[in-house]
Every structure is written in C-alpha cells, then in structure tokens.
Chains A and B, each alone.
Chain A
Amino acid sequence: QKEVEQDPGPLSVPEGAIVSLNCTYSNSAFQYFMWYRQYSRKGPELLMYTYSSGNKEDGRFTAQVDKSSKYISLFIRDSQPSDSATYLCAMSITGGGNKLTFGTGTQLKVEL
C-alpha cells in the first residue's frame, strides 16, 4: 500500500465548476500538507500548504485537512481553463529540511 493515495483521473469539468481533489494517507506522523500544480513539461509549483488539521483559503483555492480521517482536499472555485494541469498532493513529517511524499497526481481539464 502506498503511503499517499490519489486518484489519477483524468477529471474533466466545465468552466466555472467547483473542483474537488482529494488524497488519503496512511502515515499518522505527517503534519505538513501541500498541494502542487504541474503543467505539462514543467516542474511542480507550490499552491498551498497547511499545518495539521483545518482549512486554509487563498483566492479561488481552499485546502482542507482532516487528520482524524487521514484525508486532505483541495477545492477550486470558478474553475478556469488555465487551471488545467496535474495536481499533486504532498506531505511531510517535518516542515523544511525533510523529504516530501507525493501522491501520483490528478490530471484536471477545465473545458470551455
């Protein structure tokens, strides 16, 4: 069993839809949770990170962490075609100076 599970998709939604992306994990020691966006043939870029449980909002993006269920989510409101990319969740036991454990990524396509 992988430490981090993520549905690879692809997920196709119409422009303006609310998108929900999710990951589950098995290691209860994870404390830092991140979402990265990766465009084709580019490196991942950090979208958001949260520490422990709770919600964090940044513009159209909301990250949620439920440590009791070992489940994290990223919501994208008013999705745009420019949001089409692969979204990777990542987790760390300690912040900074430690390796990240990634999910496989979910491929998202937002259609006009």
Chain B
Amino acid sequence: GAGVSQSPSNKVTEKGKDVELRCDPISGHTALYWYRQRLGQGLEFLIYFQGNSAPDKSGLPSDRFSAERTGESVSTLTIQRTQQEDSAVYLCASSLGGAGNLGYTFGSGTRLTVV
C-alpha cells in the first residue's frame, strides 16, 4: 500500500483480556518499529524488526508484551492480561533500513483503552 496501515484504529478492552494489534508496513520496507505514545508523553520505543528477526526488543515493558513479524511484512503486537497502564496509542513505523536511512513512515496508530 501507499502508507503504513494499522488496525484496529481504536480498541477498548477489559482489564485482563489479551489484545492483538496489527501493522502492515510499506511494501519493500525491511525495517519495522513499534512505539508507544502515552497521553502527554513522547514516543517510547518498544521493538525493532529487520526482516523477520528482532535485533532490538529492549523497549518491551514486560513479558506480557510480545511481537512477531512474518514474511518480512505484517507485524502483530500482542499484549496479554492487559492493565490500565497499557492504555496508549501504539504506533508502527517502517523504513528501508540500512545505515543512514532515516525515512521512517509512521501509521496513524491504534488507540488502546483498557477499562
């Protein structure tokens, strides 16, 4: 597609339930990133994929968070046993990757509300 697509755009879930967030990157972009944006705060890095592997997952806040990428394309971010502090906008970005390439393109995000 022309841009990074994220679904759902909004998700309301009950505390304790699992959620899956999806990201479709720009075709041909080998690098994919997940960030979290809490209200009034900057973007927090969660995880980076190069191809299907994740060389940097240092930002995942707890073992309730996991992510995978298949076919060097779609990625899913899974949050298990959601807590109220997980409420945030989850943003996905993709890029061509490689040193010096700063052309990150972000999706519009998934707004997650845990009630």
Question: A-side interface residues toward B, CB under 8 Å?
Answer: 4, 6, 8, 32, 34, 41-46, 49, 88, 90, 92, 94-105
Contacts and interface: CB of A to CB of B under 8 A. Distances in A.
11 contacts: A8-B40, A43-B93, A43-B106, A43-B108, A44-B91, A95-B100, A97-B99, A98-B48, A99-B56, A102-B43, A103-B42
B92 to A, nearest CB: 8
Contacts of A45: 105-106
Contacts of A32: 102
Bin the interface of chain B by size: 20 to 34
A34 B98 contact: no
B97 A97 contact: yes
A99 B108 CA distance: 19
A34 B102 CA distance: 9
A41 B6 CA distance: 13
Contact of A96 (B100, B107, B109, B111): B100
Interface of B is mostly: loop
B33 to A, nearest CB: 7
Interface of B: 4, 31, 33, 35, 40-45, 48, 50, 56, 58-59, 91, 93, 95-109, 111
Contacts of B102: 32, 34, 46, 49, 92, 95-96
Contacts, number: 73
B64 to A, nearest CB: 20
Given A94-B99, A96-B98, A4 B42 contact: yes
Given A88-B42, A96-B97, A102-B35, 16 more contacts: A34-B102, A41-B111, A43-B4, A43-B93, A43-B107, A44-B106, A46-B103, A90-B43, A96-B95, A96-B99, A97-B31, A97-B50, A97-B101, A98-B48, A102-B42, A105-B42
Contact of A99 (B41, B45, B107, B111): B45
A43 B19 CA distance: 21
B106 to A, nearest CB: 3
